[in-house]
Amino acid sequence: MPFRVSKPTPHPVETLCEEPWKLAVEPFQVSPRTWYVAGQTWVGAYLIDTGAGLILLDTGIAESAYMLVDSIYKLGHKPTDIKMILISHAHLDHFGGAAIMHALTGAPIYMSKEDDEFMQKDPEETELPHDIWHVQHIKVDRHYDDNVAITLGDISIRTLLTPGHTLGCTSFFWDEKNPVTGETYTVAMHGGVGANTMNDDYYKTSKMLTPAHRERFLNDAEKIKKIHVDIALPSHPNQIEILDKAGTYTHESQPYLDDTVWADFIDERVRQVKVLMK
C-alpha cells in the first residue's frame, strides 16, 4: 500500500462544529483489535479491544461526541465498557469530547504531564480556534510514563513523548496478534504532526511553543521513523489514507498492513515543516 495523503475537506473545522453529520462515517476495523470510531472523517478516534475492556484513543470535539458514542454502540459495545481514555495531545479537536466520555464511562483520562500543564497555563492556545467550538474543560487523572506501558487485558501500549505540535504530544505503539494467522503486528499512532504550530508566524504569538520544539520534532523524527510499525494510523485521516478502505477489513486481507507507511509518513511531515521554515 503506497503512502498517500487524503484530500483535505473544505472548511472541515467549521463543518465539524456546526454540521458534523456532513462528515459522518461508519465505524470500521483497521487492525485485529482496533477500530476507527470517531464517527466523522476529520479527526480520528480509535477503540482498542483488550479482552478486558476497551481503551479509547482520542475523543474528537464535544459537537461530534454523539457520533463517537453511536459508533461504540454500532460495534456492539456500550460506553461503560471503556476503561481508559488516552489523549494524544492538548488540542481541543482531540480532547474536546473527553469530558463527555469520562462522564459516560467513568474511565480515567490520560495525558502527558507536559500537555496537562500546557492546557492549564495557556488554555486559549490549546483551544484553537477557540472562537469556533464549544470548550469542554477536562481534569486529567493520570500522566504517561514512557518507561511504563499502559496495560489492560492482553494489550500493552507503549507511549513516547514526541513534542513539536504541542509541548507534550504523545505517540502510541502496541502489538496485536492476528487470530487467523497468528502473526503479530505493531500498530502505532503519532501524537501530533501538524506543521500549523511549527512555523515562525505561529511562534510570534505562542506563549509556550518555541522554535526549539520544532527542532526537537525534526531531530526526533529521524529516530521515530526507524521504529518498526506494521500498521500506521493517523490522528487525522488526511495524514494517512485509511478511509478509502473503510469496511474492507478482514483478518485474512489486512488492508492496512504495510510496514513502509510509517517512515514515509514521518518523512512527509518533516518535509512540510521544513517548507515553512524557508
Q: What is the mean pLDDT of residues 13-33?
A: 93
Cell of 207: 506563549
Give the count of beta carbons closer than 10 Å to the beta carbon of residue 207. 10
pLDDT tens digit sequence for 58-68: 999 999 999 99
- What is the SS3 assignment for 97? coil
- The per-residue pLDDT for 130 is 62
pLDDT tens digit sequence for 27-42: 999 999 999 999 999 9
pLDDT tier, 89 (very low <50, low <70, confident <90, very high otherwise): very high
Q: What is the mean pLDDT of residues 95-104?
A: 96
Distance of alpha carbon 145 from the chain centroid: 18
Contact call for residues 40 and 9 (beta carbons, < 8 A): no
- The per-residue pLDDT for 7 is 56
255 pLDDT exceeds 60? yes
Helices (H) and strands (E) in the chain, counts: 9, 12
Distance between CA atoms of residues 71 and 253, nearest Å: 23
Name the pTM for this structure.
Answer: 0.94
Contact call for residues 112 and 161 (beta carbons, < 8 A): yes
Cα dist. 107→42, 83, 86 in Å?
Answer: 24, 5, 10
Contact call for residues 278 and 41 (beta carbons, < 8 A): no
- The per-residue pLDDT for 4 is 63
Locate all alpha helices (DSSP H) within the chain, ordered by sequence: 12-18, 65-74, 92-95, 98-105, 113-121, 123-126, 200-205, 211-224, 261-277
Q: What is the mean pLDDT of residues 178-204?
A: 96
Distance between CA atoms of residues 198 and 208, nearest Å: 12
46 pLDDT exceeds 80? yes
